[in-house]
Structure 1
Amino acid sequence: MDLSGAVFGAPVTLEIAADRVSCVRTRWESTATVRVRRAEVDLGYAVWTAPVALTAHPVPFTDRGGVPVDESLLTGPDRVRVTSVQGVDAAHLVLTDTDLSDCLFSGAFHLDQLRLEGRTTLAPTPTGFHRRGIAPIHWTRRRTLAEETPLARPESRTAPRTRGRRARAPPMAYGPAPPRPRPHPRP
């Protein structure tokens, strides 16, 4: 399905079952929900001025009578793959249950505000030996901060027992340290 260059000005909900969905250079002026089945989605250079949610729909769509829509002509795998978010502002984008392992992110900005929800998969970290020019480089999996820190014990086990009262904090000293007492001379 080709939505390239389309402009959506009112809130919209799209339900699409296709092999490929192209939303290149689309303009989304209002909130939108795009539910997709079994497709590769290209969002390159799309413009969002309001939140847009792209969601993988797990079961076949139904018509108004409740009958499932025939998907026998679709040949792709039963997952939604996002192939490109190149050149987009990802601040208003929410991706749910999508595969980003082959996604092109170059030129996108505000990627730190991109919301990934559900079982969204990313490309694995490369490991082993690779070449950069003639020099071999060894890649190792970098652990995240959550994996490096031990699990914190519940506060009730580490806090001092106070029999229902709050523990008092030690007094804080502000300003210069008090002078040290001088030792007395020996006779």
Structure 2
Amino acid sequence: AAVAALESAVCLSGKPLTPLSEQQVVDCDEASYACDGGFPGDALTFIKQSGGVCTEEAYPYVSGDSGYHETCKSSCTREAVTIRKVVAVPVSDAGLVQAINVQPVAVGVAADNPTWKQYKSGIVSSCSTTQLDHAVLAVGYSPSYFKIKNSWGTQWGEEGYMRLKRGAGTRSSGTCGIIGPLSVYPQL
């Protein structure tokens, strides 16, 4: 989700949309625990400190369900990206809306539950847990829901997307924990 938020920021800055390497972050960023519970803010900080990230073409994604991790590659075709700041989104419905108005936002959600695993379509209004265990990209909203893009492929949900009801869930965390402390985006 952090790399997707960065791709969005680069595109919104007027540069061509270039797929960037999630695998580099998984392999090289030891601080964020990669796909084992990593945090989007840590991943963006890693990219900021590294001065950029490899392109997807130069460093393709191979992890996924396999759990396979490669050794960190020291060189690749690097997309030079200057992240000036990793912006933490205020923990509120209004804060998330304001951030999405700037660009797509990496958010933490509670996805280890049947609601997520069996999702096909519609607006989700509750989850059986609020334990944040997955990061997704919040890409839009309406008065009644937030729209998120998941990394599980286009066969999942609404062609890779899900709608989470606004104003539902616990007052402080929203449906499936979407309004939480892990919401960040890069400022270029």
TM range (shorter): under 0.3
In proportion to residue count, which structure has more strand? 1
For normalisation by structure 1, the TM-score amounts to 0.19
- Considering Cα pairs closer than 8 Å and 6+ residues apart, tell me whether 1 or 2 has the greater RCO: 2
Which structure's CA Rg is the greater one?
1
Query: Which has more helix, going by share of residues?
Result: 2
Q: What is the TM-score of this pair, normalised by structure 2?
A: 0.19
